[in-house]
């Protein structure tokens, strides 16, 4: 476990930039500077501009469907995942649903005593006492990164059980950090490589039951989610091809700005994963789109979208497209 002190500790209670040369290169740069070589170049450039210490794994499929690393930059470093960890928490809740011990329709009360501030929506209500479904708080946790929803998850899957589920799925370092209250926890640690693995299996509908994977992807791909980073410079159609989760906090090294996700091609097949964890950054209290690391995510994200690999028909046949966004004018 990292000894860095995080402001996000409320969840449990109630370095200079690396050199561009450190970026792992898995295949020679193409003469045209497109595809993987272009992604590597932009990643290295934007990492250097943003500063801090980065730990990253980016991978994409080749035409045969094999997953090939593009960037492996200290990809096995164990780091505080912050809100990116909410993907792992949601995975544990859905695993319990898959086993028939819980349902998306199970209802819990939302008392004032459980409300947390920071990111999310529940703390804005000002009055509480609703009965809400598991589906409700999972959506809030993944779409707007609601912190109270983390506590709601802990009420249905305690911290130790979350870690047992993650271990059973083969994750070694992706863990929440238990505290005295068995239903509360710090969000804990992960590695870029393990988060890549989680996302790849989610995108291929093997991490959980296919319908459970579809549920989590429908939330993380939706247009009302996080847009400041990877998805910033994209059309609405392109944004729906990206399932993403952002995390931001600070520790003794400085600011942290993380983003991890999976991109799909225009036919619905998962083709690229990214897990970018940056810490030791500057600009404290800037949680917006102008933070240098978040601006870097946006430029890297646009480059990844512009250089997605082509896929064969066989790779697309088992995947379905989400419903397209349609505006509704009340009524």
Please report, for the chain, the start and end positions of each structural domain, with discontinuous segments joined by +: 7-99+159-314
Q: In 263-275, which positions are buried (b, 16+ CB within 10 angstroms) versus exposed (e)?
A: bbbeebbbbbbbb
The torsion of the CA quartet 139, 140, 142, 145, rounded to 10 degrees, works out to: 180
Q: Does domain 7-99+159-314 have CATH number 3.40.630.30?
A: no
H or E element, residue 98: helix 86-98
pLDDT higher than 80, residue 32: no
Q: Which of 306, 299, 220 is nearest to 36 (CA)?
A: 306
Give the pLDDT of residue 13: 42
Burial of 117 (0-12, 13-18, 19+ CB in 10 A): exposed
Distance in angstroms (rounded) separating the CA atoms of residues 89 and 142: 10
Q: List pLDDT tens digits, range 170-225.
A: 999 999 999 999 999 999 999 999 999 999 999 999 999 999 999 999 999 999 99
**pLDDT mean across residues, the chain:** 90
Query: Tokens 């998962």 identify what position?
Result: 270
The overall pTM is greater than 0.75: yes
- Better-predicted residue by pLDDT, 43 or 18: 43
Give the pLDDT of residue 5: 46
Indicate the SS3 state at residue 44. Answer: helix
Q: How confident is the model at residue 262 (pLDDT cuts 50, 70, 90)?
A: very high
Q: List pLDDT tens digits, range 96-110.
A: 999 999 999 999 999
Q: What's the whole-number mean pLDDT along residues 246-255?
A: 96
Q: List pLDDT tens digits, range 298-316.
A: 999 999 999 999 876 555 5
Radius of gyration of the chain from Cα atoms?
19
Q: What's the whole-number mean pLDDT along residues 63-87?
A: 96
Distance in angstroms (rounded) separating the CA atoms of residues 191 and 319: 27
Distance in angstroms (rounded) separating the CA atoms of residues 130 and 238: 35
Q: Which of 271, 201, 266 is nearest to 61 (CA)?
A: 271
Tokens at 314, concatenated: 């066989």
Task: Pick left, alpha or beta for residue 116 (phi over 0 → left; psi -120 to 50 → alpha; otherwise beta).
Answer: beta
């Amino acid at each position: 476990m990292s000894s860095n002190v995080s402001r996000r500790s409320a969840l449990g209670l109630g370095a200079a930039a690396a050199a561009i040369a450190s970026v792992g290169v898995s295949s020679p740069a193409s003469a045209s500077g497109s595809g993987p070589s272009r992604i590597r170049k932009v990643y290295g450039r934007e990492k250097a501009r943003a500063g801090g210490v980065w730990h990253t794994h980016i991978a994409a499929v080749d035409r045969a469907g094999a997953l090939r690393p593009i960037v492996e930059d200290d990809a096995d470093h164990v780091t505080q995942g912050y809100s990116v960890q909410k993907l792992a928490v949601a995975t544990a809740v859905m695993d319990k649903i898959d086993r028939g011990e819980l349902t998306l329709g199970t209802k819990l009360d939302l008392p004032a005593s459980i409300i947390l501030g920071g990111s999310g929506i529940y703390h804005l209500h000002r009055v509480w006492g609703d009965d809400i479904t598991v589906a409700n708080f999972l959506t809030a946790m993944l779409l707007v990164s609601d912190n109270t929803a983390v506590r709601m998850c802990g009420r249905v899957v305690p911290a130790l059980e979350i870690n047992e589920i993650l271990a059973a799925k083969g994750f070694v370092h992706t863990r929440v950090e238990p505290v005295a209250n068995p239903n509360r926890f710090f969000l804990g640690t992960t590695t870029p490589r393990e988060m890549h693995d989680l996302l790849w299996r989610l995108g291929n509908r093997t991490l959980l039951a296919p319908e459970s994977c579809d549920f989590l992807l429908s939330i993380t791909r939706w247009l009302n989610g996080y847009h400041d980073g990877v998805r910033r410079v994209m059309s609405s159609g392109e944004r729906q091809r990206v399932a993403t989760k952002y995390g931001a906090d600070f520790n003794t090294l400085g600011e942290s700005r993380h983003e991890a996700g999976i991109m799909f091609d225009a036919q619905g097949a998962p083709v690229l994963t990214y897990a970018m964890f940056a810490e030791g950054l500057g600009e404290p209290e800037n949680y917006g789109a102008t933070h240098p690391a978040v601006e870097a995510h946006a430029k890297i994200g646009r480059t990844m979208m512009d250089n997605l690999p082509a896929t064969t028909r066989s790779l697309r046949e088992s995947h379905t497209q989400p419903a397209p966004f349609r505006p509704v004018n009340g009524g």
